[in-house]
Amino acid sequence: MKYEPVVTESVAKQIAEQIRRAITNGTLKADDKLPTESELARQFNVSRPTIREALKRLAAKSLIRSRRGPAGGTFVRAPSTEDMSQDLISSVALMVSLSVFDLTEIAETRHELERVCIRLAVKRRTEAELSRMATEIKLQKDESLTDEEFCASDVRFHRALVDATHNPVMQFQMFTVIEALQPVENMVIFRFREREKTIEQHEKIWRALRAQDLEKAEKAIDEQMVYLRKSFSQAQEWRRKRDSAETVA
């Protein structure tokens, strides 16, 4: 590796960024061993504690791992899809909380992406995914479920639908939609959504996938997404009236 001289700001942060760039551009590859702390300190002309801090930053992003023993050291770690997805979820959740994304935009995006998923899932679904979806439908019919438990089951149902695409890139993209955006949607609209209606829609999706009927599958996913948009509108109107009443009071 060829390192650039570091300047002001946080030296540890700059060192971590240089090593991160070497990983992302392919100069350093998965399982490559990094120089020792002493060697890195000498190359960067900084103290070992500074190097240690830089390595902690990289470890926090799951870019490196340490191994003890005679063959130990610090190695480049290829982040898993789960690792990267969790970072995306945190970022997306923050953007939603700061109102960077609005519910209408979320609903529109989810609708279009789930239409792509349903087309792939019709062709590629396995009995395993159908079984997972059927299990969630059965669970959702339990009237003793709390709102939180019902929403969690809803998330798992759509996760099974996405997994049925058997497309890792699509699964990665949809991870944030299903694991970050969908729970936010559910929190907003749960009081305006009828469980029976949601279950009915899930059953239509499941039956269409089982029969590998693309037309019915697309119709079923469209029906659910349109219903969700309607629920969003009701939720937003309710919030508007509530906020207006609080302002008057």
Give me the residue spans of the domains in the chain.
Answer: 11-76, 82-233
Q: How many residues belong to the chain? A: 249
The mean pLDDT value for 132-154 works out to 93
The pLDDT value given to residue 175: 79
Q: What is the mean pLDDT of the chain?
A: 85
Has this prediction a pTM greater than 0.85? no
Placement of tokens 């609708």 in the chain: 111
* Mean pLDDT, rounded, for 166-176: 87
Residue 221's pLDDT is 96
Whole-Å CA distances, 197 to 49, 89, 193: 59, 28, 8
pLDDT of residue 177: 76
CATH number of the domain at 82-233, please? 1.20.120.530
Question: What are the contacts of 198-201 at 24+ separation with CB within 8 A?
Answer: 198/140, 198/154, 198/224, 198/227, 199/137, 199/140, 199/141, 201/227
Q: Examine the pLDDT at 183 and tell me if it is beyond 70.
A: no
Q: Is 145 helix (H, G, I), strand (E, B) or coil?
A: coil
The CATH code that applies to domain 11-76 is: 1.10.10.10
88-97, 100-109, 110-119, 149-158: which has the minimum mean pLDDT? 88-97
Locate tokens 């709102």: which residue? 147
pLDDT score of 64 more than 70:
yes
pLDDT attached to residue 22: 92
Q: What is the mean pLDDT of residues 44-58?
A: 93
Q: pLDDT band at residue 8, thresholds of 50, 70 and 90? A: very low
Rounded distance between C-alpha atoms, residue 121 and residue 158, angstroms = 11
- Are 63 and 22 in contact, with CB atoms under 8 Å apart? no
